């Protein structure tokens, strides 16, 4: 399969929606480089996201996130990029993302599916680590409600429940221009 001409595909969505996993599958399929914004920030800054939050605070982290996002979007012509779950919601990032490409995809996952996916990952997710299993649905529902305003601005919405990563990546490939 020939490589798609210069294309940027950006995946947005809540934590646990599969942005990184789908992004890696899609990038390999299309022969494009893959970037995870959080991993890129950690590598560039030499600190984990958690360390940046703890030592510099959320405001400073969001400023750095915005700078790194802009750098990636300006410097790389072809890629699949998975943003962090909060990235589209701060610093005008969603506008920056939408201006960079017509290929912005919101990976939508229902709250029950998110609870199922995130329960086993609680320890590695500072935002939900303190929650009991019974508290998670309400917390995720409220948090997702706040963020959906930004996610829903994506050019395309992919409903992910019950689909394999390959099925989701194929949907994205078919809709990419």
- The CATH number of the domain where 146 resides is what? 3.40.50.300
Q: What number is the average pLDDT over the span 120-139?
A: 87
Give the pLDDT score at 5: 60
Beta bridge partners of residue 11, listed in sequence order:
82, 105
Q: What number is the average pLDDT over the span 147-175?
A: 96
For 147, the token pair is: 């963020």
Q: Residue 20: which domain range?
A: 8-175
DSSP letters spanning 9-31: EEEE-STTS-HHHHHHHHHHHHT
In a domain, 169, yes or no: yes
CA atoms within 13 A on the CB side of 151: 25
CA-based nearest residue to 151, from 98, 78, 74, 76: 98
84, 147 contact by CB (below 8 A): no
Q: What number is the average pLDDT over the span 96-108?
A: 97
In a domain, 115, yes or no: yes
User: From CA 138, how far away is CA 136, in angstroms rounded?
Assistant: 6
In a domain, 38, yes or no: yes
In a domain, 1, yes or no: no
In a domain, 88, yes or no: yes
Number of structural domains found in the chain:
1
Question: Is the pLDDT higher at 122 or at 150?
Answer: 150
In a domain, 3, yes or no: no
The model carries a pTM of 0.94
Q: Is the confidence at residue 126, as pLDDT, over 80?
A: no
H or E, element range at 156: strand 156-159
Q: What number is the average pLDDT over the span 9-18?
A: 96
State whether residue 172 is helix, strand or coil: helix
Encode pLDDT of 43-82 as tens digits.
Answer: 999 999 888 988 998 899 999 999 999 999 999 999 999 9
CA-based nearest residue to 81, from 128, 23, 29, 138: 23
In a domain, 154, yes or no: yes
Long-range CB contacts (within 8 A, 24+) of 126-135: 126/50, 126/53, 127/15, 128/15
In a domain, 22, yes or no: yes
């Amino acid at each position: 399969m020939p490589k798609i001409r210069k294309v940027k595909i950006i995946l947005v969505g809540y934590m646990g929606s599969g942005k990184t996993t789908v992004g890696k599958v899609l990038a390999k399929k299309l022969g494009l480089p893959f970037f995870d914004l959080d991993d890129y920030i950690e590598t560039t800054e030499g600190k984990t996201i958690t360390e940046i939050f703890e030592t510099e605070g959320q405001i400073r982290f969001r400023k750095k996130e915005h700078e790194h996002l802009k750098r990636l979007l300006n410097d790389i012509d072809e890629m699949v990029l998975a943003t962090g779950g909060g990235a589209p919601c701060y610093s005008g990032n969603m506008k920056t993302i939408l201006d960079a490409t017509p290929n912005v995809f919101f990976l939508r996952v229902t709250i029950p599916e998110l609870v199922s996916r995130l329960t086993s990952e609680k320890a590695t997710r500072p935002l939900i680590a303190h929650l009991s299993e019974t508290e998670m649905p309400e917390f995720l529902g409220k948090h997702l409600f706040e963020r959906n305003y930004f996610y829903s601005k994506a050019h395309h919405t992919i409903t992910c429940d019950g689909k394999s990563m390959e099925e989701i990546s194929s949907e994205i490939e078919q809709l990419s221009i």
